[in-house]
């Protein structure tokens, strides 16, 4: 059995679903952040896989993946900063408590 | 003299009191007590007296009959304004009557002003503790201005304006002690009663304006005569009221003004109350001058009179002179007694006017002004001397304390009683003037009805040229009666001619003019006997007999400032009246009585030529004063005892007279209560009908307002605005409910939406050949 693009996509989908699940079930802000990382990485995996099998010598997907990694790093730094501020203000990182902007 | 010299002098005389008035108004308080009075005396009346005297002397001694007539005709006129088509002139009515009245008013007023300086010293500080001395003289000056202007007016409109001004002054001066209720009430009563008369005056004035088309006295008379001759204008109107034609109503209307001012019978009620004013005011305004203005007015509009109007005038005059003389008999207040005597004498004047005794009435006006002013000043002296005591029952025996007052008063009593030696030319004021009125009344009531005058006139015409209309009718008529044929008496220069330029024949006048009812003549005769009685009673009770009140008697005194005017007026009464004023009146009569429908009659009773005509009358009236004096002496020589016994015997009559026939009560009941009733009825109507309508309208408006406010505005307009806002709120609420604040929800929704989008893409891509889907299919191995 040859490893094809489908396998990569399945792994990416599983990772995406895990990330999504983590995001929607975790109440801890850091946990949600981890879920976000999983979703980002699954999409990065998809890009790399498509580039490998359908790019025909082009590096578009690879570069996009690099972008995503940088973006994730920046996002993580930002999100952790938000988390710290949330903790400072509310003395918790439980996102269910941070509902001051609800309609 | 130059052109209009007389007018300039007279105008200056009118202006001077006005200047004095303003001076006193602005500087009166600063001038202080005696000075303000002297400004009033010198500027207010001194200057006019000098002017009046100059004019009088110039007019009477330096002009002859022709030049006087020319001066009258060319008297000053200046067009002041146009009322529609009617021009109103400021002008001077310059004739002997004006000159005589002017001199009389200024002369009497001057001495009353002088008297006031003394009298008001003790009488002017009573008003709320403030010094009103200057104010008194300001009012007097204003009165002088108004009265002189009234005499001078050539125009009915200006006459009316000054007429109202003297009325105002009268009001102000009656109410001079306005902090006393009776004074202010008397002032109001005088003013309101005068308004009633002035209403009639205005009606007459309007009729003159509309039908004669002019307000000038001379022009109106000319047009009246023209309209009478041609039967046009006011004579073309078929309007009648109480059986009077429109022309009569005009005359009666003008006379109504005179009734108010001269206090004739139904409107007489104000004059006795007017004695609430200071005594000089009673003397000047309410005895000598203003009240005589009514007679003056009738004299001035004599040419607009009709026989019916004159009959009305004589009826009113006759009632007044009788009724008021009766009241005067029972008065105990010295001023009230004089007031009723004034009313009675004014009645004589008006009666005389009504009879046609134009000269006699005006002559009586002048003589009366002299002696009545003097009598009032005398009473003022008495009141002042007796510490404000006015009750004659408490006086008596004052002759030793007040000799000047006593004897000048006696001269006045003689004059008003008509004392003289009958059939000779010796007598005092009333002896000439009142007897003359009575002689004319006699002619009108007895001679008039009997002879056939049209025949008489025709008969006369044969002997004379047709231009000679009858002069001195009664004398001739009387002579005709006596001797059976017309005879020409030596007229002694003073005569009226009936109508100088109107073409109405004398016969027509006789035909229209009814003889005077005999009862009128007899009432006037009886009153001629009553007058000396009540005057003698007044004098005797005050000055003669024994003192009845020690307190009053002890304090009695007189002051030179006050008795000098008395003496001057007494001298005036004795000398000036007959020889000066009657010729002046007679001189004015020719033109002033040239009426188309009525005639003025000369009745000079005591001149030798005429004596025979009225022989019984001459002695019958001539000795009336003796009878009256004797009766008064018999009753009052021993004090009040006899009088009281008579009073008890005749108590119903006495009660009626003391209560003045209950006329005041009747007026109170009819007019005052009637007014109140009318006001209450109007109030009731207002409350229940007018208010109902208004409240209904208000209620409807309120309902409408609440409908538009609550329903339309609140639920309609506000509803739309609030509805939009509410809807926005609701929508926002619904929309914001999606913002739960739970990240899980956002994530799920995002994922779900993404899934839906993906499914849609795949679905539509498959069906519409989306290239991406094809790529996918291409990917599949």
A23 and B742 within 8 Å at the Cβ level: the answer is no
Which tokens hold the place of B58?
Answer: 């110039």
pLDDT higher at B693 or B504? B693
Residue B701 has pLDDT above 90, yes or no: yes
Cβ of residue A2 closer than 8 Å to a chain B Cβ: no
CA atoms of B624 and B630, how far apart (whole Å): 10
Residues of A in contact with B779 (CB under 8 A): 5, 53-54
- Vertex B82, ends B81 and B85: CA angle to 5°? 165
Average pLDDT, stretch A19-32? 89
What was the pLDDT predicted at B506?
61
What was the pLDDT predicted at B611?
46
* A99: nearest CB among B736, B741, B751: B741
Residue B469 has pLDDT above 90, yes or no: no
B742 φ/ψ sector (left φ>0, alpha ψ -120 to 50, else beta): beta
| Banded pLDDT at B1 (limits 50, 70, 90) | low
What was the pLDDT predicted at B146?
93
> So what's the ipTM on this one?
0.82
To probe the interface with A, which of B741, B755, B772 has the most A CB atoms within 10 Å? B741
What was the pLDDT predicted at B773?
45
* B742: nearest CB among A53, A54, A96: A96
CA atoms of B90 and B79, how far apart (whole Å): 6
Residues of A in contact with B747 (CB under 8 A): 20, 23-24
| Banded pLDDT at B124 (limits 50, 70, 90) | low
- For residues B530 and B417, the answer to whether their CB atoms sit within 8 Å is no
What was the pLDDT predicted at B482?
37
| Banded pLDDT at B552 (limits 50, 70, 90) | confident
> Of B110-124, B329-343, B695-709, which range is least confident?
B110-124
Residues of B in contact with A102 (CB under 8 A): 736, 739-742
Average pLDDT, stretch B128-133? 66
CA atoms of B177 and B183, how far apart (whole Å): 6
The three-class DSSP label of residue B332 is coil
What was the pLDDT predicted at A103?
63
A99 and B743 within 8 Å at the Cβ level: the answer is no
User: If interface means Cβ-Cβ distance under 8 Å, which residues of chain B face chain A?
Assistant: 733, 735-744, 747-748, 751, 779, 781
- For residues A32 and A23, the answer to whether their CB atoms sit within 8 Å is yes
Q: Among residues of chain B, what percentage have pLDDT more than 90?
A: 18
Residue B691 has pLDDT above 80, yes or no: yes
Cβ of residue A10 closer than 8 Å to a chain B Cβ: no
* A4: nearest CB among B737, B748, B781: B781
pLDDT higher at B444 or B57? B57
pLDDT higher at B707 or B490? B707
User: Could you count the other beta carbons within 10 Å of the beta carbon of residue B439?
Assistant: 28
Rounded to 5 degrees, φ, ψ at A19 are -60, -45
> Of B296-310, B401-415, B451-465, B624-638, which range is least confident?
B451-465
Average pLDDT, stretch B561-569? 81
Q: Using alpha carbons, select from B747, B752, B753 the residue that is nearest to residue A35.
A: B747
To probe the interface with B, which of A2, A24, A56 has the most B CB atoms within 10 Å? A24
What was the pLDDT predicted at B268?
87
Instruction: Find the residue in B nearest to A33 (Cα).
Output: B743
Residue B776 has pLDDT above 60, yes or no: no
> Of B72-81, B115-124, B624-633, which range is least confident?
B115-124
| Banded pLDDT at B332 (limits 50, 70, 90) | confident
* B744: nearest CB among A24, A53, A98: A24
Residues of A in contact with B738 (CB under 8 A): 103
B741 and A32 within 8 Å at the Cβ level: the answer is no
- Secondary structure element (H or E) that encloses residue B360, with its range: helix B358-385
- Vertex B610, ends B604 and B611: CA angle to 5°? 105
* A95: nearest CB among B736, B743, B751: B743
* A99: nearest CB among B733, B742, B781: B742
Q: Domains of chain A by range and CATH?
A: 5-101 (1.10.287.3510)
A24 and B781 within 8 Å at the Cβ level: the answer is no
Cα of B739 to nearest chain A Cα, Å: 5
* B779: nearest CB among A20, A24, A54: A54
- Secondary structure element (H or E) that encloses residue B34, with its range: helix B33-39
CA atoms of B87 and B79, how far apart (whole Å): 7
| Banded pLDDT at B757 (limits 50, 70, 90) | very high
pLDDT digit string (tens) for B173-201? 898 888 888 888 899 999 999 998 999 99
What was the pLDDT predicted at B780?
47
Q: What is the pTM of this model?
A: 0.73
Residues of B in contact with A46 (CB under 8 A): none
User: Could you count the other beta carbons within 10 Å of the beta carbon of residue A81?
Assistant: 10
| Banded pLDDT at B585 (limits 50, 70, 90) | confident
Residue B485 has pLDDT above 80, yes or no: no
What was the pLDDT predicted at A72?
92
Cα of A70 to nearest chain B Cα, Å: 23
* Most confident segment among B470-484, B539-553, B762-776: B539-553
| Banded pLDDT at B549 (limits 50, 70, 90) | confident
> Of B286-290, B401-405, B549-553, which range is least confident?
B549-553
Cα of B736 to nearest chain A Cα, Å: 4
What was the pLDDT predicted at B625?
84
| CA separation, residue A50 to residues A37, A92, B83 (Å) | 20, 41, 118
As a whole number, the mean pLDDT across chain B is 81
Kind of pairing, strands B244-245 and B420-421? unpaired
Q: Using alpha carbons, select from B10, B39, B11, B2 the residue that is nearest to residue B24.
A: B39
Cα of B697 to nearest chain A Cα, Å: 55
pLDDT higher at A41 or A101? A41
> Of A48-52, B152-156, B258-262, B576-580, which range is least confident?
B576-580
A24 and B739 within 8 Å at the Cβ level: the answer is no
Q: Residue A39: CA atoms inside 13 Å, Cβ hemisphere, count?
A: 17
Residues of A in contact with B729 (CB under 8 A): none
Q: Among residues of chain A, what percentage have pLDDT more than 90?
A: 45
Cα of A56 to nearest chain B Cα, Å: 13
B740 and A102 within 8 Å at the Cβ level: the answer is yes
* B739: nearest CB among A32, A54, A103: A103
Average pLDDT, stretch B303-315? 90
pLDDT higher at B443 or B459? B443
Residue B292 has pLDDT above 90, yes or no: no
B741 and A4 within 8 Å at the Cβ level: the answer is no
- Secondary structure element (H or E) that encloses residue B393, with its range: none
Residues of A in contact with B741 (CB under 8 A): 98-102
């Amino acid at each position: 059995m040859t490893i094809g693009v489908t396998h990569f996509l399945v792994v990416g989908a599983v990772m995406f679903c895990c990330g999504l699940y983590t995001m929607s079930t975790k109440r801890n802000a850091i946990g949600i952040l981890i879920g976000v990382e999983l979703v980002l990485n699954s999409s990065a995996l998809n890009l790399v896989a498509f580039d490998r099998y359908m790019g025909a010598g082009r590096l578009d997907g690879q570069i996009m993946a690099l972008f995503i990694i940088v973006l994730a790093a920046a996002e993580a730094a930002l999100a952790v900063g938000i988390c710290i501020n949330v903790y400072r203000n509310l003395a918790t990182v439980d996102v269910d408590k941070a509902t001051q902007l609800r309609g | 003299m130059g052109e209009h010299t007389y007018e300039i002098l007279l105008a200056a005389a009118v202006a001077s009191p006005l200047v004095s008035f303003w001076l006193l108004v602005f500087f009166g308080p600063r001038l202080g007590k005696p000075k303000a009075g002297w400004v009033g005396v010198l500027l207010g009346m001194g200057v006019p007296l000098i002017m009046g005297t100059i004019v009088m002397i110039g007019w009477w001694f330096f002009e002859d009959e022709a030049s006087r007539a020319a001066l009258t005709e060319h008297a000053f006129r200046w067009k002041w304004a146009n009322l529609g088509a009617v021009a109103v002139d400021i002008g001077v009515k310059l004739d002997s009557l004006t000159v005589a009245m002017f001199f009389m008013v200024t002369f009497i007023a001057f001495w009353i002003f002088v008297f006031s300086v003394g009298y008001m010293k003790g009488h002017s500080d009573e008003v709320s503790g403030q010094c009103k001395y200057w104010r008194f003289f300001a009012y007097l000056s204003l009165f002088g201005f108004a009265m002189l202007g009234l005499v001078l007016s050539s125009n009915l409109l200006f006459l009316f304006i000054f007429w109202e001004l003297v009325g105002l002054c009268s009001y102000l001066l009656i109410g001079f002690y306005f902090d006393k209720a009776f004074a202010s009430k008397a002032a109001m009563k005088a003013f309101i009663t005068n308004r009633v008369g002035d209403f009639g005056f205005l009606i007459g004035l309007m009729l003159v304006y509309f039908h004669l088309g002019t307000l000038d006295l001379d022009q109106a008379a000319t047009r009246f005569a023209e309209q009478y001759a041609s039967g046009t204008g006011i004579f073309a109107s078929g309007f009648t009221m109480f059986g009077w034609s429109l022309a009569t109503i005009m005359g009666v209307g003008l006379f109504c003004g005179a009734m108010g001012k001269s206090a004739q019978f139904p409107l007489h009620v104000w004059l006795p109350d007017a004695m609430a004013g200071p005594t000089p005011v009673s003397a000047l305004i309410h005895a000598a001058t203003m009240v005589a203005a009514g007679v003056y007015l009738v004299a001035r509009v004599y040419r607009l009179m009709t026989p019916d109007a004159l009959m009305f005038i004589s009826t009113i005059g006759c009632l007044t002179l009788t009724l008021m003389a009766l009241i005067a008999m029972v008065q105990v207040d010295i001023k009230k007694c004089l007031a009723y005597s004034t009313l009675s004498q004014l009645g004589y004047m008006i009666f005389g006017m009504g009879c046609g005794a134009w000269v006699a009435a005006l002559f009586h006006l002048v003589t009366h002004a002299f002696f009545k002013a003097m009598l009032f000043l005398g009473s003022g002296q008495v009141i002042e001397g007796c510490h404000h005591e006015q009750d004659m029952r408490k006086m008596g025996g004052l002759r030793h304390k007040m000799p000047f007052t006593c004897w000048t008063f006696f001269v006045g009593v003689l004059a008003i009683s008509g004392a003289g030696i009958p059939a000779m030319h010796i007598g005092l004021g009333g002896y000439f003037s009142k007897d003359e009125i009575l002689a004319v009344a006699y002619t009108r009531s007895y001679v008039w009805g009997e002879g056939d005058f049209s025949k008489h006139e025709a008969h006369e015409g044969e002997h004379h040229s047709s231009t000679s209309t009858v002069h001195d009718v009664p004398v001739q008529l009387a002579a005709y009666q006596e001797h059976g044929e017309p005879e020409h008496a030596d007229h002694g220069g003073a005569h009226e001619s009936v109508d100088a330029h109107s073409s109405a024949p004398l016969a027509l006048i006789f035909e229209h003019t009814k003889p005077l009812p005999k009862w009128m003549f007899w009432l006037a005769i009886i009153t001629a006997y009553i007058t000396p009685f009540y005057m003698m009673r007044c004098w005797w009770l005050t000055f003669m007999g024994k003192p009845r009140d020690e307190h009053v008697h002890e304090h009695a005194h007189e002051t030179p400032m006050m008795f000098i005017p008395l003496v001057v007026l007494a001298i005036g009464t004795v000398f000036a009246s007959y020889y000066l004023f009657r010729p002046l009146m007679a001189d004015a009569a020719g033109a002033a009585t040239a009426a188309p429908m009525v005639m003025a009659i000369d009745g000079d009773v005591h001149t030798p030529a005429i004596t025979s005509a009225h022989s019984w009358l001459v002695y019958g009236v001539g000795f009336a004063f003796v009878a009256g004096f004797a009766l008064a002496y018999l009753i009052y020589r021993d004090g009040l005892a006899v009088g009281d016994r008579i009073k008890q015997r005749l108590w119903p009559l006495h009660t009626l007279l003391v209560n003045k026939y209950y006329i005041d009560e009747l007026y109170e009941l009819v007019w005052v209560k009637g007014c109140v009733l009318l006001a209450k009825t109007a109030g009731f109507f207002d409350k229940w009908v007018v208010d109902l309508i208004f409240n209904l309208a208000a209620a409807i408006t309120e309902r409408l307002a609440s409908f538009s406010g609550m329903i339309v505005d609140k639920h309609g307009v506000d509803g739309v605005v609030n509805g939009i806002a509410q809807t926005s709120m609701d929508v926002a609420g619904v929309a914001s409910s999606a913002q739960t604040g739970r990240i899980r929800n956002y994530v799920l929704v995002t994922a779900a939406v993404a899934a839906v989008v993906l499914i849609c893409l795949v679905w539509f891509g498959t069906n519409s050949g989306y290239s991406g889907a094809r790529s996918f299919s291409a990917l599949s191995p």
